[in-house]
């Protein structure tokens, strides 16, 4: 397993936001965390990234205790809905950023950084945007660049929090297809947060339905759609119960 979470709990004051989460994600899998607003999806993602800490439970990646690792060394890449690109940097420099700030032993030299950025620009089909500034890009183009920046360091786990949430329906559909292709070609283990069931079902190998800090159901999209495990899941999917 790429990532294993056991009995993870997070409280803010008296509120239990994550109540004993158990989740295992396989190598190269694309898993969607699906649930209504406030169900704990972002908190779980932040804990994986090292931007937040659980009160109890364990998190291992490739059998290594990740809670013992500092966030900078966790080898995650992330894209958030409003995690803006650096406005004063061209697209190619935005993508290079993660490589240039890596700790010494891992940091590639300038030529290797340029080569990696060119490779990513081509892979993500955004070569024509390389010398633009973020203000000269559409919302969808910006999120493609943000994904390039997240992938630049070849992360073990890619974390995407509502990355297409602010975009209109047609752009979202295009980006979904594109992300599916990028995922298949790169093979990066990916956790994708969304409250949009169509997005989760179309993108994910497995869907994790969350409600009020618990996992309500985990399964392939068709399994969840055909056999909701609880009235909560059925209601959330819009089935009449």
Residues contributing to the site for ligand ADP (CB under 6 A):
12, 17, 35, 37-43
CB of 214 to ligand ADP, least distance (A): 12
**CB within 8 A of 225, min separation 6: which ones?**
201, 237
Cα–Cα distance for residue pair 162/8, rounded to 1 Å: 22
Cα–Cα distance for residue pair 185/167, rounded to 1 Å: 24
- β-pairing verdict for 30-34 and 206-211: parallel
Q: In what order do the strands lie in the sheet with 157-161?
A: 76-80, 157-161, 189-194, 30-34, 206-211, 214-219
Task: Give me the residues paired with residue 77 across strands.
Answer: 158
Between residues 20 and 38, which has the closer beta carbon with respect to ligand ADP?
38
Sign of the alpha-carbon torsion through 214, 219, 221, 223:
negative
Between residues 35 and 77, which has the closer beta carbon with respect to ligand ADP?
35
Between residues 39 and 94, which has the closer beta carbon with respect to ligand ADP?
39
CB of 220 to ligand ADP, least distance (A): 22
CB of 167 to ligand ADP, least distance (A): 18
For 88, counting Cβ atoms within 10 Å of its Cβ (0-12 exposed, 13-18 middle, 19+ buried), the class is: exposed
CB of 42 to ligand ADP, least distance (A): 3
CB of 78 to ligand ADP, least distance (A): 14
CB of 238 to ligand ADP, least distance (A): 18
Between residues 40 and 148, which has the closer beta carbon with respect to ligand ADP?
40
Between residues 45 and 99, which has the closer beta carbon with respect to ligand ADP?
45
Between residues 19 and 28, which has the closer beta carbon with respect to ligand ADP?
19
């Amino acid at each position: 397993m790429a990532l294993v979470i056991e009995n993870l709990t997070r409280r803010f004051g008296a509120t239990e936001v994550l109540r004993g989460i158990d989740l295992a994600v396989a190598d190269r899998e694309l898993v969607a965390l699906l649930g209504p607003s406030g169900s704990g999806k972002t908190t779980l993602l932040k804990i994986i990234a090292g931007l937040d800490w659980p009160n109890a439970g364990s998190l291992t990646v490739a059998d290594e205790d990740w809670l013992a690792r500092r966030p900078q060394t966790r080898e995650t890449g992330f894209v958030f809905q409003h995690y803006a690109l650096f406005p004063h940097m061209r697209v190619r420099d935005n993508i290079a950023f993660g490589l240039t700030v890596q700790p010494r032993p891992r940091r590639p030299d300038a030529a290797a950084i340029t080569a990696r950025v060119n490779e990513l620009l081509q892979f993500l089909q955004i070569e024509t945007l390389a010398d633009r500034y973020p203000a000269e890009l559409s919302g969808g183009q910006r999120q493609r660049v943000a994904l390039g920046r997240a992938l630049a360091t070849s992360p073990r786990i890619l974390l995407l929090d509502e990355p297409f949430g602010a975009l209109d329906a047609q752009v979202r559909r295009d980006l979904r297809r594109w992300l599916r292709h990028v995922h298949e070609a790169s093979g990066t283990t990916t956790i994708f947060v969304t409250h949009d069931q169509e997005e989760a079902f179309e993108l994910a190998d497995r869907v994790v339905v969350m409600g009020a800090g618990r996992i309500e159901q985990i399964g392939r999209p068709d399994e969840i759609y055909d056999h909701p495990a609880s009235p909560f899941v059925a209601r959330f999917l819009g089935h009449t119960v």
